[in-house]
Amino acid sequence: MSPNANHNGSAHHDHGKCVADALAAAREICDQRGERFTELRGRVLELVWESHRPIGAYAVLERLKADGRSAAPPTVYRALDFLMEVGLVHRIESLNAYIGCAHPGAAHASQFLICKDCGTAEELESPAVDAALAAAAGDHGFKIAGRVVELSGTCKNCSGS
Amino acid sequence: MSPNANHNGSAHHDHGKCVADALAAAREICDQRGERFTELRGRVLELVWESHRPIGAYAVLERLKADGRSAAPPTVYRALDFLMEVGLVHRIESLNAYIGCAHPGAAHASQFLICKDCGTAEELESPAVDAALAAAAGDHGFKIAGRVVELSGTCKNCSGS
DNA sequence: ACAGAGTATGATATACTATAGCGAGGCCGG
DNA sequence: CCGGCCTCGCTATAGTATATCATACTCTGT
Ligand SMILES: [Zn+2]
Ligand SMILES: [Zn+2]
Ligand SMILES: [Zn+2]
Ligand SMILES: [Zn+2]
């Protein structure tokens, strides 16, 4: 077990690097888009990335307070709203929770596989799913603006062993 | 404009019959399954069906109180939970709201087209979407237990005129 | 009819999630 | 330096959902 594996769910990758990469990418994306990647926003993104499990806004809030920082609900909701607009974070509607985007930087429609056992959420970008949704909507004269696709069930790790 | 059209969103069908049919079907389904379709549950289902728009639990609660009935949040949540278990009502996660099932009686995975303009939600059962989701999940060794597929956008009526 | 088990509802309190609104301070272009 | 805009702190409040206990109903077997 790697030194960084003890604080995340799957424990199958170097999660410290995982988080560091996400933060570096976020900084770059914000620079490119002329958005301010402030210390608060960075810390919130880091907290969201601390596991691959979706995390609730109030859980983020508690961790911010644990930093010794003064924080209230609007503090974290504003940061999360910003991160979502920039495309660095997704909201999981069925959990009222938030998770770091696995492929930030480009607009994309994603799907989530949420394991009921270990709580992880994997982000997919399946063109086939996207096409099927577009076709089904088109058949009904519906113009898609936003997609929520969240599958709950059992992940590979949890069903295997 | 038909006499029954003034209290629903699309105004393109006999909504009174629509609701009556839903209630009759519900009674039959509960009978078959040995579940009690009580007066409260019937009234809640009727309220949910009063339009084709998703309705919030607290909106249902207010209408129950308007009946002169004594009611509190658990009253409506219990009824909604029952109706969902029996498959008579679906929850729209992205709206924290509830809508009558268009095809009750048989287990099915459905998708919703939610219009941002008129607020209606149309229930689809696209085998193609379902197959694409099953394939995408299967590729990742994920066993699907529950599906949330909610598309927001503009419906045919609203984009037409 | 009666007792007892299981179910449904009433009632109160509380937890959890999200937003409104105002003001102080920082950043930046003019 | 000024003035506009953005970020953040802070308080209050709105909106959604559940825990818990008490009461009353329904059905079943005797
Ligand atoms: Zn993403
Ligand atoms: Zn799992
Ligand atoms: Zn349905
Ligand atoms: Zn519409």
pLDDT at B11: 55
Answer yes or no: are the C-beta atoms of B20 and B45 closer than 8 Å: no
* Ligand minimally distant from the alpha carbon of residue A117: 2
| pLDDT (tens digit per residue) in B41-77 | 999 999 999 989 999 999 999 999 999 999 999 999 9
CB proximity A124 to B under 8 Å? yes
Residues A77-115 as b or e (16 or more Cβ within 10 Å = b): eebbebbeebbbbbbbbbbebbbbbbebeeeebbbbbbb
pLDDT at B14: 86
Find which nucleotide's C1' atom is closest to B40's CA: C9
Placement of tokens 């549950």 in the chain? B41
Residue of B nearest to A160 (CA): B141
Distance from CA of A158 to the nearest CA of B (A): 9
Contacts of A116 in chain B (CB under 8 A): 145
Instruction: Read off the pLDDT band of A18 (50, 70, 90).
Output: very high
Task: Compute the residue count for chain A.
Answer: 161
pLDDT at A9: 45
- d(CA B138, CA A113) in angstroms, rounded, equals 11
Give Rg (Cα) of chain B.
17
Q: Stretch A96-122: mean pLDDT, rounded?
A: 95
Q: Which residues contact A18 (CB under 8 A, 6 or more apart)?
A: A49
- Measured over the CA atoms of residue B115, residue B130, residue B138 and residue A161, the dihedral's sign is positive
pLDDT at B161: 66
pLDDT at A27: 96
Answer yes or no: are the C-beta atoms of B152 and B116 closer than 8 Å: yes
Pick out chain B residues at pLDDT < 70: 1-12, 161
Find which nucleotide's C1' atom is closest to A69's CA: D9
Residue of A nearest to B126 (CA): A136
E-strand ranges in B48-161 read 89-92, 97-100, 111-115, 121-124, 143-154
pLDDT at A2: 43
Answer yes or no: do A131 and B135 touch at CB < 8 A. no
| pLDDT (tens digit per residue) in A34-56 | 999 999 999 999 999 999 999 99
Q: Stretch A13-27: mean pLDDT, rounded?
A: 93
Q: Shortest CB distance from B113 goes to which of A94, A132, A142?
A: A142
CA→C1' distance for A74 and D3 (Å): 27
pLDDT at A11: 55
Q: Which residues contact B55 (CB under 8 A, 6 or more apart)?
A: B47, B48, B97, B98, B99
Contacts of A152 in chain B (CB under 8 A): 144-148
Which H or E run includes A77?
helix A73-86
Answer yes or no: do A153 and B160 touch at CB < 8 A. no
pTM: 0.92
pLDDT at A107: 83
Contacts of B149 in chain A (CB under 8 A): 133, 148-149
Q: Shortest CB distance from B116 goes to which of A141, A145, A150?
A: A145
Q: Shortest CB distance from B128 goes to which of A135, A146, A149?
A: A135
CATH entry 1.10.10.10 includes domain B15-159 = yes
pLDDT at A121: 98
- Between strands B97-100 and A97-100, the pairing is unpaired
- Measured over the CA atoms of residue A14, residue A16, residue A17 and residue A18, the dihedral's sign is positive
Checking if the pLDDT of A5 tops 60, the result is: no
| pLDDT (tens digit per residue) in A63-104 | 999 999 999 999 999 999 999 999 999 999 999 999 999 999
Ion ligand 2 contact residues with beta carbon within 5 A: A 115, 117-118, 155, 158
